[in-house]
Amino acid sequence: MKRALVLSALLTLSTAAAQKTVTIGWSGAITGPTSDAGASYAAGIEDYCKYAIAQNMVPDTKLNCVVRDDQYNNANTQRNFEDYVGNLRASAFLGYSTGGTLQLKSTIQETKTVTFPGSYHIGNIDGANSDYIFLPISSYSEQLISLVEWVAKKERGAKIALVVNPSPFGRAPVDDVKKAAERLGVKIVDVQEVGANNLDNTALLKRFEAAGVKYVVNQNTAGPVANILKDAKRLGLLGKMQFMGAHYTGGEDLTRLAGDAANNFIWSTSYFLYDEADKPGMQLVKKVGTQYGRKADTIRSVHYTSGMLAASIAIEALKRAKGDGSSEAMLRAVTGMTGSKTFNPGFTVGPVSFSAKDHVGAESLRLLQADNTGNFKAITGAQRSQMFKLVHPN
């Protein structure tokens, strides 16, 4: 009996010694600007990590997922990254803001830290210092150009206004959209920056009306867009102008904030939605969110799914690397997600595929439109923009 206990103790010690700890760190806005998206994004990361640990997705490895609020402050993002990489020796960094990711590009390259930002700005993966950065889904530029392509098919010569967040996140795709509009035969007649304090948009909307704008394309989060839509309804402009937007503008976050003023809003995103219950990925979203006690609004938010996708890619890379969290092993695992080895966790309308030259994961997207019940329904199948490749070649 005594010998059995000794052997058992040795086995336990041996198992503990064999189990290595790997860290995945996220830094983003749980409070502060854009936290209307960031709080749900953080919850998605936390819960998928708990689920992965419970499922023992990476055998013989202790997953340590750390989520920190940086309040959309680049200095805080920098400090969090330095702690993750310098002290916790993180195997992957899950970023968030455009400004924070751009600020860290050279440091990410220097430290060879595989990074998956919540910002889908194409500049994150352009040019130098981008070997270790990977966009989980299609870029803002491709999402917005897809919307402009839809306008061009509907009305050649149409007048379009862009409304963007006053930040690198908002401004990032403007040049690409302008180039695409010119080639598509539509006109960008105005570009306005609007933040979260836009409580009265009367002057903005009257300016658009006077300029003959029929389409308003937003690069923002849902809060500022909801305020514009409610003012457009008050001014009787909803039927005269078509409002549209990229990923962070739409979904149930928008209809919850804007109510029936969100009717007919057209939205581009790569993600499946909460109500698409036949999709295995959405079934997992509901199961995990409920299991870990999240509120209904959090589970229904597309940003909860976005956080789960980012965490799932990093953990899948660790799994394929057999728990080796070194830079070399992680980069090899991520860039190997191609061809027959693509990764499809079921959260997006296409699989996640990366290679050494291709740093965009789920490249397909759909356009969806809000109906009179506040639900978004697909008005296109999964597709890619044709014009994006022409105005922004690799």
Q: What is the pLDDT of residues 322-378, one digit of tens each?
A: 999 999 999 999 999 999 999 999 999 999 999 999 999 999 999 999 998 889 999
Distance CA 88, CA 47 (A): 21
DSSP letter string, 130-189: -TTB-EEE--HHHHHHHHHHHHHHH-TT-EEEEEE-SSHHHHTTHHHHHHHHHHHT-EEE
> What pLDDT is attached to residue 72?
94
Backbone angles phi, psi at 186, to 5 degrees: -120, 165
> What pLDDT is attached to residue 19?
76
- Region 216-231: mean pLDDT is 96
Q: What is the pLDDT of residues 9-23, one digit of tens each?
A: 444 444 444 679 999
Q: Confidence class of residue 170 from pLDDT cuts 50, 70 and 90?
A: very high
Query: Which DSSP category does 352 fall into?
Result: B
Tokens representing 187? 């006109």
CA-based end-to-end distance of the chain: 67
Q: What is the pLDDT of residues 240-259, one digit of tens each?
A: 999 999 999 999 999 999 99
Q: What is the pLDDT of residues 269-302, one digit of tens each?
A: 999 999 998 999 999 999 999 999 999 999 999 9
Residue partners of 71: CB distance under 8 A and separation at least 6: 29, 30, 31, 32, 33, 35
Average pLDDT, the chain: 94
Q: Is 7's pLDDT higher than 80? A: no
Q: Confidence class of residue 8 from pLDDT cuts 50, 70 and 90?
A: very low
* HSE-up (13 A, CA, CB side) for residue 308: 30
Q: What is the pLDDT of residues 25-71, one digit of tens each?
A: 999 999 998 898 999 999 999 999 999 999 999 999 999 999 999 99
For the chain, the structural domain boundaries read: 20-138+277-362, 140-269+366-391
Backbone angles phi, psi at 175, to 5 degrees: -60, -45
Q: Is 217's pLDDT higher than 90? A: yes
Tokens representing 12? 């336990």
Q: Is 3's pLDDT higher than 70? A: no
Q: Which helix (H) or strand (E) holds 292?
A: none
Tokens representing 198? 């836009």
> What pLDDT is attached to residue 10?
44
> What pLDDT is attached to residue 1?
42
Residue partners of 382: CB distance under 8 A and separation at least 6: 349, 350, 364, 365, 366
Residue 392 three-state SS = coil
Q: Which of 11-25, 120-134, 167-181, 297-311 has the lowest mean pLDDT?
A: 11-25
> What pLDDT is attached to residue 394?
74
Domain 20-138+277-362 has CATH 3.40.1010.10: no
Closest residue by Cα to residue 284 from 36, 33, 54, 29: 54
Q: 140-269+366-391: which CATH number, 3.30.420.40, 3.30.360.10, 3.40.50.2300, 3.40.47.10?
A: 3.40.50.2300
Q: Which residue has the tokens 């990366």?
A: 354
